[in-house]
Every structure is written in C-alpha cells, then in structure tokens.
C-alpha cells in the first residue's frame, strides 16, 4: 500500500505469546490497514483468526478507555471517571498506608500469561519491598524451566528442529496453541521428521503424528519412568554422553529397574507395547527433541517429578546442546536482560523470607530461585528472570487474604489477568477477590475481576505500544516491534502504570525512562547496531539473533550445575530437601489410592488446554470470534457418554469434590474412554456483569473443578492440579437450565 503520508509500522499482534509480526499502515495517527509481516521469521505473514480482529479489539465498544473509580458497592458497576493523576495519587496513598500498618508484604500483585513488561512490575515490587508478586507461572512452563535449570544449568527451550529426526510433543497441541510452530513441524515432517504426540485426546496435532500415545491424564510420570527403563534396559542410552557428562546414571539404572512398561500399563492406560514403541522411536531417531507442553505443569503433585523424569530422557539419549537437539543457550550477555531490569538486589533477605508459600514450595520461590540464580551467575554471568521464576504461591496468597494467615494481605494489584477464570478453585479466588480490602485492575475490559475492583485502569494494546518478545525474559535473542499509533483515549501501557505508581511512592531515581521506547533503547543500545533510538533499531534491524552455538559445555569446561555435569541425580533438588531422583507419584486423584472417591467420581478429568478462537478467558466479548464457538463444550467418548445417557449437544454438569459446572457435550472418538475434557476460560460477557451475576463467571468455568489444596500441589513448585482429577457427569435437568439457553 503506497500512498502519500502513509507510514508502515513494524508492530505485532499481542493476543498470544507468538507475537506474530504485523505491518501496520498509518496516516495522521490513524490505522488504515494491517497485515501479517512476511519477513517476520515465525508467522511469515500469516495471522490467525484472533490476529485478524486486532482493529475490532482496538476500538471495541466494551473497552475500558478511561480510569474508573468505584462509586457504589464493590461489584455494583457504578463508576466515576477520574484522571490518571488522581488514580495514581489515590492508589499510591492507599498502598503507603497499608505498608505502614501491615508491612510491604501485605500488598500482592497478580499477573497472567506473559503480556506485559513484567520486569517493570518486579522492579516496582522490589523497590516497594514486597515479595508477593505472582502469576499463573506455576501452571505455565516455569516449574519445567526451574527443574531443567537445576539439572542441566539452563532450560533447553530453544529447539534446533532443522536437522532433528524425532520430535516429542508431550502434553502440547501446537496446531491450536502455537500455530506458527506447527506450520514449521508440518514442513519438517515432509522431510522425514518423526512426531510423537502424548495426549489423552486425538488432537489436531496428533492427527499429523507418527505415534499417538493416549495417556491417562496426570499419569505422565509412570510413562516417563517406563521410557527411561526401556532406554536403559534395552541398551539405547548414549553411553559416551552419559559416562562423560552426567552424574547419577548408575543410581538411575537401579532406581528405574522396577518401572517396566508392564508396570506402567495399568497406571497410564497405555499398552506396554506402545510405551516401548514410543521410547524406542525417541531414542533411536537421533538427534531428537522434546518440546515443552503445559500439561506437565498442570498435573499438581506429580508435576515436578514428571518434569525431572522428562529432563532425564534428554540426558540419557545425549539429546542436549548438539545440532538437531534441545539447546542450552543461556542468558544473553549482549543486551540488558529482564533480570537486570528488575533490581532484585533491592529486596532484602528479611522480605524475601516472607514470600508466601516459600516455606512449603521451594523451587520457584526465593530458596530455589536464589540458589539457581547464584549457580547461573557463576557459570553464565547472568541469572534467569525473577519475575515468573521466583513467585509467591497464588493459592497461598488467596488463602492469606481470606484467613489473615500467616499474615494479612490487604491489597491486590491485578494486571493482565482475570484470576476468577484462570487460577485454581475459582470459588475460593472469587471469595478472596471479594474479601480483599483494596483492589486495582489494569485491563482492556471489565472482566469479572475488574468488576470487583476499586479502580480499573485502561490499558494500551497490541498496536498502541512497542514490544520486545523474548521467552519470559530468558531468551538470548530479541524480536522487537514498534508502536503503530499512540494509545487511544486515555489508555496507558503497563510499564507507565508501574512507573507512575513507583514515582508516586518515592522511586523516582529508579525510573529514568520517560517512555517504553527509552527503556528498550537502554536495553539494546550496546548491541553495536549504531542506532540512535529503539524505533530506529526496529525499522532497520528489528531482530537480534546470535549465532547458534553447539556443545557450549565443551568450551565452558562443563555444565552450569554444582558438579559441572548434567545432574540426573540432582544436588540442587537434594539441597532443597527434595528427592534427587524422581520418585513415582500417582495422579492427584486416582482409583487405586482412593477407591471410595472413584466410586462417586468414576471418570477422569482434564481441564483446560487451548481452544480456538479464545486465548484463556479473553476474546469472549468479540462477536466476530465468539460466533466460531459460542458455547462451552466438554469432550467425552461416545461409549462413555452412552453409559450416562448423554447425547451430542446435551448440557451436562461436570462435577468434582469441589464443585460443578455446565458445558455442552461434544461426543468424540478422539478422547480416551472414561476421560472428560472441559474447556477453559468461559464467562459470558453478554450477561449482567454486576455482582452477584458477574458475567456468569462460575457457571461454566473449568477452574471450579480444579484443586489447589497443599497436598494436591507439586511439593517442588506448588503447581496445582488442573489435569488428572476424578469427576462425574450428568445431564442438566430442565429445571436447572437457564432460560436463555
């Protein structure tokens, strides 16, 4: 589109972590048109259905455009429009009062999936003195990252697929969740790449796989241990790598002796033959990759041991840091990392020790993070991001709000999340949001969470702010985007919110950058591109990809662990008081250990997984997307449905010990018999948003069913149980049915 006065801005879509590159055509500060950027390496010009509604999202009638202050009761929906100055001043005054009376730790912040400049929030919290920032980190990669870093010195999330011969997608469905990645996989399959999908559902991705392993939800640990058994006892390990570079192989060999495929068969519901076939396919088609998938972060109690077992699989097959395998890039030494922007050194030991949940779950809180960061600094020269990798335990924070134990939490600042729908045991979350003394929400929309807030602040989205994309601040590369237009109405970026609040609370000297572009320029200016501004960098270069290096451990004289070896037998876990080798832990709720429970709740439940067109609880209010899927669906095998008299399209109750929700039955052979899958995220923005209706936020909300009890959480990371629970299903009777359905 060449036209006088039209500028082409290199922006990106911000509706999922893929951050697909876009070209935005702007004239006189207004967007005329946008399209996928064909030069962007991940999406190569493609955009999904969400990406294509960016302009509808930008000026949607339901967007929050001005700072709002509550006028009536909490949840009454009566708001007064105020200025940003007033909002920041009043919020700052309130937080200072709370800090004075209860201590800085009485202020908590909640975040969601990586959307914002999280370093800015952490910087604010470190300077304010509170250790109680949290995200849904516990469900989303972070436990995996921390265990892998304990075992190998860094998480091998950068996969070198080009020359790979085998890709294991373990609890991941990229054909829905990460579309650009999936298109890469399809291309490589044509060149002979073998793909193994481990998933209770025959997903869009499984349909393209060479092997589908329909595992019982939550039982992945038995499968992983049995794979290790097969690889060791069939002589398929990479002995050169193991003996030269690993510690603990002999202990592991003895440890897994009993974990045969026959042992795993009844636990996983996968035949011993299929277990063997999968293990052999991975071990014999080298080099190979195991891609991260969220499922293993969401199985609660067995999560940490499962991630450890999966990490061991790479080590014993030598699929680490070599061409075609999973690479240990380490942090960037070239640009200023997120961690360096966080000012973690400002949070005192005394405040770190107060982090909620850190006494119970030590890996992604200060005890584990502190140790892992220390090792990483020594080896790599820099540490992983603390935001995400070192967080308060969300269910423990919600509990502290409700009980005042171990100490009161009085304020919650919510940014880029809708906790009622995303965090576990939504009933408790909702009770906590209603109970907290003071709540501020930064969002695009009046979500059920925002409705309960004292202040709601309007946030700038995709094309209204610049963005640096870098795997939770841990990648060694940068993908950069410009803002296409100045924020519309009175929207601000999250960075500006934390900065302004910080300045209001006396942090001025630590916020030297006026704009996000200034802060980004500070981060990249020493990269040597000779540019004068961030915008110029994006215009001329946009990406910084260091050359891929293999076998870094050879040059560095070992791996980034205390022993300098890959620690199959993990000294870091042992130091923290956890088993150094992964013990077998059963799914949180199961028929073997809890036969009585299984009588009442005979079906196996997995909650969540991405569905199109939604991103978690987002986009439900955009009718151009909602028409694709306007009602929530649970999946059930036709044989199982028949046992319960359920037919296609029936509204059914899905119930666990914690509560019940309504979704519509979708009968499919593509799910293991006896297993139920419920969609995540559901609320009904078209309904009354005021309390108590709150957009029907509990009615079809899968997190009503999940468990956050301490005993169901992973003892290492504290991740709670969304997958591998027991449930029952029954038809919604006509008297239960809402009239509007």
Rounded to whole angstroms, the Cα distance separating 245 from 152 reads 10
Q: Given CA atoms 597, 578, 112, 107 in this order, what sign does their dihedral have?
A: positive
Q: Please give the C-alpha separations between residue 675 and each of 678, 701, 705, 728, in angstroms, as whole numbers.
A: 10, 18, 14, 10
Residue 18 sits in the site that holds ligand SF4 (CB under 6 A) = yes
Q: Answer whether 117's CB lies under 8 Å from 123's CB.
A: no
Q: Which of 8, 19, 34, 677 binds ligand SF4 (CB under 6 A)?
A: 19
* Min dist. Cβ of residue 438 to ligand MGD (A): 18
Quick one: 243 exposed, middle or buried, by C-beta within 10 A (0-12, 13-18, 19+)?
Answer: exposed
Residue 440 sits in the site that holds ligand SF4 (CB under 6 A) = no
Find which of ligand SF4, Mo ion, ligand MGD, none residue 702 binds, CB within 5 to 8 Å per kind.
ligand MGD
Cis omega (within 30 of 0) for bond into 406: yes
Binding site for ligand MGD (CB under 6 A): 16, 112-113, 115-116, 136, 139-140, 170-174, 176-178, 198-201, 203, 215, 217-218, 220, 293-295, 298-299, 415-418, 421-422, 442-445, 447, 459, 494, 606-612, 614-618, 680-681, 702-703, 706, 722-724
Please give the structure tokens belonging to residue 274.
């299929």
Q: Which residue has the tokens 């970026």?
A: 493
* Min dist. Cβ of residue 699 to ligand MGD (A): 15
DSSP bridge partners of 567: 247
* Min dist. Cβ of residue 83 to ligand MGD (A): 19
Find which of Mo ion, ligand MGD, ligand SF4, none residue 682 binds, CB within 5 to 8 Å per kind.
none
Q: Which is nearer to ligand MGD, 229 or 706 (CB)?
A: 706
Q: Which is nearer to ligand MGD, 222 or 375 (CB)?
A: 222
Q: Which residue has the tokens 């609890």?
A: 171
Residue 51 sits in the site that holds ligand SF4 (CB under 6 A) = yes
Residue 465 sits in the site that holds ligand SF4 (CB under 6 A) = no
Q: Which is nearer to ligand MGD, 140 or 341 (CB)?
A: 140
Q: Nearest residue to Mo ion, using CB?
A: 140
* Min dist. Cβ of residue 253 to ligand SF4 (A): 43
Q: Please give the C-alpha separations between residue 259 and each of 224, 246, 584, in angstroms, as whole numbers.
A: 9, 21, 9
Detail the DSSP E strand segments found in 59-192.
68-70, 79-81, 107-111, 133-134, 158-159, 166-170
Alpha carbon distance, N-terminus to C-terminus of the chain:
46
Find which of ligand MGD, ligand SF4, Mo ion, none residue 51 binds, CB within 5 to 8 Å per kind.
ligand SF4
CB neighbours of 141 closer than 8 A, spacing ≥ 6? 157, 292, 294, 297, 472
Q: Which is nearer to ligand SF4, 15 or 444 (CB)?
A: 15
Q: Which is nearer to ligand MGD, 179 or 478 (CB)?
A: 179
Q: Which is nearer to ligand MGD, 246 or 296 (CB)?
A: 296
Residue 677 sits in the site that holds ligand SF4 (CB under 6 A) = no
Is residue 47 helix, strand or coil?
coil
CB neighbours of 6 closer than 8 A, spacing ≥ 6? 25, 26, 27, 32
Q: Which is nearer to ligand SF4, 16 or 147 (CB)?
A: 16
Rounded to whole angstroms, the Cα distance separating 129 from 116 reads 21
Q: Answer whether 729's CB lies under 8 Å from 644's CB.
A: yes
Find which of ligand MGD, Mo ion, ligand SF4, none residue 115 binds, CB within 5 to 8 Å per kind.
ligand MGD
Our CA dihedral for 726, 728, 732, 735, rounded to 10 degrees, sits at -100
The string of DSSP codes covering 520-551 is HHHHHGGGS---SSHHHHHHHT-EE-PPP---
Q: Which is nearer to ligand SF4, 681 or 718 (CB)?
A: 681
**How many residues bind to ligand SF4 according to rule CB under 6 A?**
12
Rounded to whole angstroms, the Cα distance separating 297 from 92 reads 36
Binding site for Mo ion (CB under 5 A): 113, 140
* Min dist. Cβ of residue 173 to ligand MGD (A): 4
Please give the structure tokens belonging to residue 741.
């359905």
Q: Which is nearer to ligand MGD, 379 or 472 (CB)?
A: 472
Q: Which is nearer to ligand MGD, 16 or 505 (CB)?
A: 16
Residue 13 sits in the site that holds ligand SF4 (CB under 6 A) = yes
User: Which one of 18-26, 27-35, 72-80, 548-556 is the stretch in contact with ligand SF4 (CB under 6 A)?
Assistant: 18-26
Q: Answer whether 729's CB lies under 8 Å from 654's CB.
A: yes
Q: Which of 8, 26, 47, 198 binds ligand SF4 (CB under 6 A)?
A: 47
* Min dist. Cβ of residue 165 to Mo ion (A): 29
* Min dist. Cβ of residue 572 to ligand MGD (A): 25
Q: Which of 20, 309, 372, 727 binds ligand SF4 (CB under 6 A)?
A: 20
Strands 79-81 and 211-213: unpaired
Please give the structure tokens belonging to residue 665.
């039955």
Find which of Mo ion, ligand MGD, ligand SF4, none residue 373 binds, CB within 5 to 8 Å per kind.
none
Q: Answer whether 291's CB lies under 8 Å from 207's CB.
A: no
Q: Answer whether 504's CB lies under 8 Å from 89's CB.
A: yes
Residue 16 sits in the site that holds ligand SF4 (CB under 6 A) = yes
* Min dist. Cβ of residue 414 to ligand MGD (A): 8
For the segment 124-183, give every residue that binds ligand SF4 (CB under 6 A): 179
Contact positions toward ligand SF4, by CB under 6 A?
Answer: 13, 15-16, 18-20, 43, 47-48, 50-51, 179
């Amino acid at each position: 589109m060449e036209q006088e006065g039209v500028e082409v801005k290199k922006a990106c879509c911000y509706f999922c972590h893929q951050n697909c590159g876009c070209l935005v055509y702007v004239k006189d500060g207004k967007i005329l048109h946008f399209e996928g950027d064909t030069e962007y390496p991940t999406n190569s010009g493609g955009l999904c259905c969400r990406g294509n509604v960016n302009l509808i999202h930008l000026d949607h009638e339901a967007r929050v455009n001005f700072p709002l202050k509550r006028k009536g009761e909490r949840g009454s929906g009566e708001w007064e429009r105020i200025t940003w100055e007033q909002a920041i001043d009043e919020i700052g005054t309130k937080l200072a009062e709370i800090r004075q009376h209860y201590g800085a730790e009485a202020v908590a912040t909640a975040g969601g999936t990586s959307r914002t400049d999280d370093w800015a929030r952490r910087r604010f919290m470190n300077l304010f003195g509170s250790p109680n920032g949290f995200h849904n980190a516990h469900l989303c990669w972070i436990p995996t990252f921390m265990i892998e870093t304990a075992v190998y010195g860094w998480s091998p999330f950068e996969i070198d697929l080009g020359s790979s011969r085998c890709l294991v997608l373990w609890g991941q469905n990229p054909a829905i969740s990460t579309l650009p990645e999936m298109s890469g996989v399809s291309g490589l399959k044509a060149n002979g790449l073998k793909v193994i999908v481990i998933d209770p559902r025959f997903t869009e991705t499984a349909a393209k796989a060479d092997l589908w392993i329909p595992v019982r939800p939550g039982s992945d640990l038995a499968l992983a241990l049995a794979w290790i058994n097969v690889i060791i006892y069939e002589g398929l390990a990479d002995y050169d790598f193991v003996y030269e570079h690993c510690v603990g192989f002999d202990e592991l060999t003895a440890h897994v002796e009993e974990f045969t495929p026959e042992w795993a068969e009844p636990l996983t519901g996968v035949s011993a033959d299929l277990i063997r076939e999968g293990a052999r396919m991975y071990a014999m088609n080298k080099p190979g990759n195991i891609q991260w998938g969220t499922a293993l972060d969401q199985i609660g109690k067995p999560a940490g041991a499962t991630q450890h077992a999966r990490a061991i699989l790479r080590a014993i097959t030598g699929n680490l840091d070599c061409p075609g395998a999973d690479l240990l890039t380490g942090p960037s030494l070239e640009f200023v990392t997120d961690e360096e922007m966080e000012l973690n050194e400002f949070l005192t030991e005394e405040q770190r020790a107060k982090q909620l949940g850190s006494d119970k779950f030590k890996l992604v809180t200060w005890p584990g993070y502190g140790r892992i960061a220390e090792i990483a600094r020594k080896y790599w020269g820099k540490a992983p991001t603390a935001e995400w990798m070192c967080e308060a335990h969300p269910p423990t924070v919600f509990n502290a709000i409700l009980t005042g134990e171990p100490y009161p939490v009085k304020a919650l600042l919510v940014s880029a999340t809708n906790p009622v729908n995303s965090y576990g045991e939504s009933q408790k979350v909702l009770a906590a949001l209603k109970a907290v003394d003071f709540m501020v929400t930064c969002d695009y929309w009046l979500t059920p969470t925002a409705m309960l807030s004292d202040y709601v602040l309007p946030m700038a989205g995709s094309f209204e702010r610049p963005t640096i994309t870098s795997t939770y601040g841990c990648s060694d590369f940068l993908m950069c985007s410009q803002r296409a237009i100045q924020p519309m109405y009175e929207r601000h970026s999250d960075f500006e919110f934390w900065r302004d609040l910080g300045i209001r609370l006396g942090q001025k000297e630590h916020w030297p950058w006026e704009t996000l572009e200034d802060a980004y320029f500070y981060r990249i200016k020493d990269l040597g591109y000779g540019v004068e501004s961030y915008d110029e960098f994006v215009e001329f270069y946009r990406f910084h990809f260091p050359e891929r290096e293999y076998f870094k451990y050879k040059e560095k004289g070992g791996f980034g662990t205390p022993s300098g070896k890959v620690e199959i037998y993990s000294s870091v876990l042992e130091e923290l008081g956890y088993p150094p080798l992964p013990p077998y832990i059963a799914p949180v709720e199961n028929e073997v250990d809890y036969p009585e429970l299984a009588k009442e709740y005979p079906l196996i439940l997995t909650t969540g997984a991405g569905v199109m067109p939604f991103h978690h609880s987002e986009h439900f209010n955009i009718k151009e997307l909602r028409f694709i899927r306007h009602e929530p669906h649970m999946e059930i095998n036709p044989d199982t449905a028949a046992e319960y008299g359920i037919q296609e399209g029936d509204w059914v109750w899905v119930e666990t010990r914690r509560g019940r929700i309504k979704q519509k039955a979708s009968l499919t052979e593509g799910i293991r018999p006896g297993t139920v899958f419920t969609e995540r995220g559901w609320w009904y923005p078209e309904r009354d948003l005021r309390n108590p209706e709150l957009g029907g936020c509990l009615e079809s909300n899968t997190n009503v069913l999940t468990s956050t009890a301490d005993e169901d959480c992973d003892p290492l990371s504290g991740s709670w149980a969304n997958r591998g629970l027991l449930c029952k299903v029954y038809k919604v009777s006509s008297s239960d049915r809402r009239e509007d359905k």
